[in-house]
Amino acid sequence: MKTHQRVAAMVFALLLLVALGLLRSTPGVRAAGTGQINGTVKLDGPAPHQKPIDMSKDPSCAQTRGGTQATGESVVVGANGGLANVVVYISQGLSGDIPVASKPVTFEQKGCQYIPHVVAVNPGQHMTILNDDKTSHNIHPDPKPGGNMQFNKSQLSGGPPIDVTWTNEEVAIPVKCNVHPWMRAFIVVVKGPNGVSDSNGSFKLENVPPGTYTLTAWHETYGTQTQKVTVAEGKPVTADFTFKAK
């Protein structure tokens, strides 16, 4: 009889352990997951002609191009009508502690142009500025008065990287080079997940908490568009934008 009681006690203990394990693994006590926003940005109509850039005043710039002709980048459209350099970000709906992206963004001077032409960054996120050319450059962002700090820094060829962070949201900070006047770019400082459309017009926002948001798409020539999206845990949602050609 005692043997049966011992076996029964062991079975009961095993069942209790299994039940506790199931409770710990139930969805109700897991941390909330995140979703993703994918989409494309298109240009409706013919793309404007981009003027060629004359780099003859600095022969080293022309040499870095390898014989290719540089052009302006205010409107860059792919073969399928995809509009590049559009920043897509969450303009309303984020709440609580909004994480800052831990990975620095890279802002290069290559071929005597800024690469990328448009870069998006969180307030407090590090931005690494590099000079890959065989000539000196001058990085001169011009934020709005009373907001982010303006600076004007020279960077020699092969010089050390420049590390920069931005304090306040701003859409968008124009950047120029005082040495090469054709060099132009934009820095967009926004909180939370963001994405920049590529040559096909595609963009992606990752690690978006579940919720309903206002999504804004900004372009230097065509301005802004907004739309509402609802993001569910573990599920991608699609948001597409179309700008009308001028």
Q: Would you say residue 215 has pLDDT above 50? A: yes
Q: What is the pLDDT of residue 68?
A: 79
Q: Would you say residue 71 has pLDDT above 50? A: yes
Can you point out the beta strands (E) in 127-232? 127-131, 137-141, 153-155, 162-164, 170-176, 184-189, 194-196, 202-208, 211-219, 223-231
61 and 1 in one domain? Answer: no
Q: What is the pLDDT of residue 142?
A: 96
Q: What is the pLDDT of residue 6?
A: 54
| Structural domain count of the chain | 2
236 and 185 in one domain? Answer: yes
Looking at residue 233, the DSSP 8-state letter turns out to be T
Q: What is the pLDDT of residue 56?
A: 85
Average pLDDT over residues 61-88: 89
Model confidence at 235, pLDDT cuts 50, 70, 90, reads: confident
- d(CA 41, CA 51) in angstroms, rounded, equals 23
Average pLDDT, the chain: 87
Q: Tokens representing 96?
A: 């609580």
80 and 17 in one domain? Answer: no
pLDDT digits (tens, 9 = 90+) for 10-27: 544 444 443 444 333 333
6 and 65 in one domain? Answer: no
pLDDT digits (tens, 9 = 90+) for 91-138: 999 998 999 999 999 999 999 999 999 999 999 999 999 999 999 999
1 and 55 in one domain? Answer: no
Q: Tokens representing 151?
A: 């600076």
Of 175, 173, 102, 161, the residue nearest 129 (C-alpha)? 161
pLDDT digits (tens, 9 = 90+) for 162-196: 999 999 999 999 999 999 999 999 999 999 999 99
172 and 84 in one domain? Answer: yes
Residues β-bridged to residue 2:
none
95 and 179 in one domain? Answer: yes
- d(CA 49, CA 216) in angstroms, rounded, equals 26
Q: Would you say residue 40 has pLDDT above 90? A: yes
83 and 19 in one domain? Answer: no
Q: Residue 8 sits in which domain range? A: 1-30
pLDDT digits (tens, 9 = 90+) for 44-67: 999 999 999 999 888 888 787 777
Query: Dihedrals φ, ψ of 162, to 5°?
Result: -105, 125
User: What global pTM score does this model have?
Assistant: 0.84
